[in-house]
Amino acid sequence: MRALSLLAALSAAGATVTASPVGPAHAPRALSDSNPFVGKKLFANPKWASKLEDTYKAFTSRGDSENAAVVRKVQKIGSFVWVSSRSGLSEIDEAIQAARAEQSRTGQKQIVGLVMYNIPDRDCSAGESAGELSTKNDGLRIYKEQFVKPYAAKLAAAKDLQFAVVVEPDSLGNSVTNSAVEFCKQAIPTYREGIAFAIKSLQLDNVAVYLDAANGGWLGWGDSLPKAANEIATILSMASPAKVRGFSTNVSNYNPYLATKRDSFTSGSPSYDESHYASSLAPYLQQHGLPAHFIIDQGRVAYPGARKDWGDWCNVNPAGFGHIPTTDQSVLQNSNVDAIVWIKPGGESDGQCGLTGAPIAGAWFGGYAEMLTGNADASVKNS
């Protein structure tokens, strides 16, 4: 998925907007004052773990027992399950069955991470992750009736499990920065109505809703922060009185949680890593009466210097598996952040871009999985 459009990159040079945004009349609040990830194990998707078997075999065939051992650890780490088509709704059933079995086997309460990713006219500015639905072909009605409603019904029927649902990655970013792209301009009303409907449909006691808020490289610039909060407020006012727990960031991207070395292309941005993006966006959300809670994807993290600019979003090299999912504030060092999580399953291609030979978006990229393993964060290797 597209991390930063050309228009967004150009907007980085704009002046910071300092005026306070105007909030909606009935601003939603968080579903709960408690962090839904605390005391639970992020569900480890066995379907993703099975894909890593080839990665394990590749290392063992070369006699690389060290990296083979890292793969075994990665296979046990929780990650989100993507539901990106109507036929893909069966992924929810499989995740529920596996999570129940794991909860019964270990006695440890599971939280199942899911991504809702099928909005009509999806990925309007890039096209690498274009979906099955189109506004012109009755996509919004189909999305509501044949995707969102059955999606929510499956979660409602699994009251014994807790879910965290990330709603429609990239849509907010495209709405804020890409309205000059005609296709995106036409898609914005669909995005707003569809996402508002999804949020209203997910108002369940066992579901924590996180609306996607792109990433610091896309919306974290001084002039984009209030625009992002305004667009979020618009969507949530359409969903009101429905509530959200918070927002997801860095989904499918490569930004570090806390940068050990600041890349030169982040100069002038208050959001040079994802923790700083959460801190930068939080006050604008709070001015609208919105919850400033975040989950931040660290499934893949680029090495410092790996990217020439924030627009490098596709199969970045070198990169590695990031910090393992955690709610530990001694690691997070940011009270606005609920958890570091793995939302994008490492090893799935971003598209036919970046590295030579990369397959289509979502297809397994074995060589890339090996690279992520070899460059894995110390927390992975020590888990």
Is 317 annotated as contributing to ligand binding? no
Query: Computed from CA positions of residues 118, 202, 176, 298, in that sequence, does the dihedral angle turn out positive or negative?
Result: negative
Radius of gyration of the chain (CA): 19
Is 344 annotated as contributing to ligand binding? yes
Question: Please, which residues have CB within 8 angstroms of residue 157's CB and are 6 or more apart in sequence?
Answer: none
CA distance 88 to 331: 35
Just list the catalytic residues. 170, 350
| CA max distance for the chain | 63
Question: Please, which residues have CB within 8 angstroms of residue 252's CB and are 6 or more apart in sequence?
Answer: 1, 3, 169, 297, 313, 343, 344, 350
Give strand pairing partners of 164. Answer: 113, 208
Which 3 state secondary structure label does DSSP give 247?
strand
Is 315 annotated as contributing to ligand binding? no
Structure token digits, residue 209: 């809703």
CA distance 325 to 316: 21
Is 218 annotated as contributing to ligand binding? yes
Other C-beta atoms closer than 10 Å to the C-beta of 91 total 19
Query: Computed from CA positions of residues 211, 179, 20, 234, in that sequence, does the dihedral angle turn out positive or negative?
Result: negative
Distances (CA, A) of 39 to 35, 42, 46, 108, 254: 9, 10, 21, 9, 27
Query: Does an H or E element contain 297, and which?
Result: strand 294-297
- CA proximity to 249, closest of 267, 268, 233, 225: 225
Is 253 annotated as contributing to ligand binding? yes
Pairing of strands 81-83, 41-42: unpaired
Distances (CA, A) of 353 to 131, 173, 263, 324, 347: 18, 20, 22, 27, 14
Residue 367 CA from chain centroid, whole number: 23
Which residues are known binding-site members? 82, 218, 253, 313, 344, 348
Which residues are known binding-site members for substrate? 82, 218, 253, 313, 344, 348
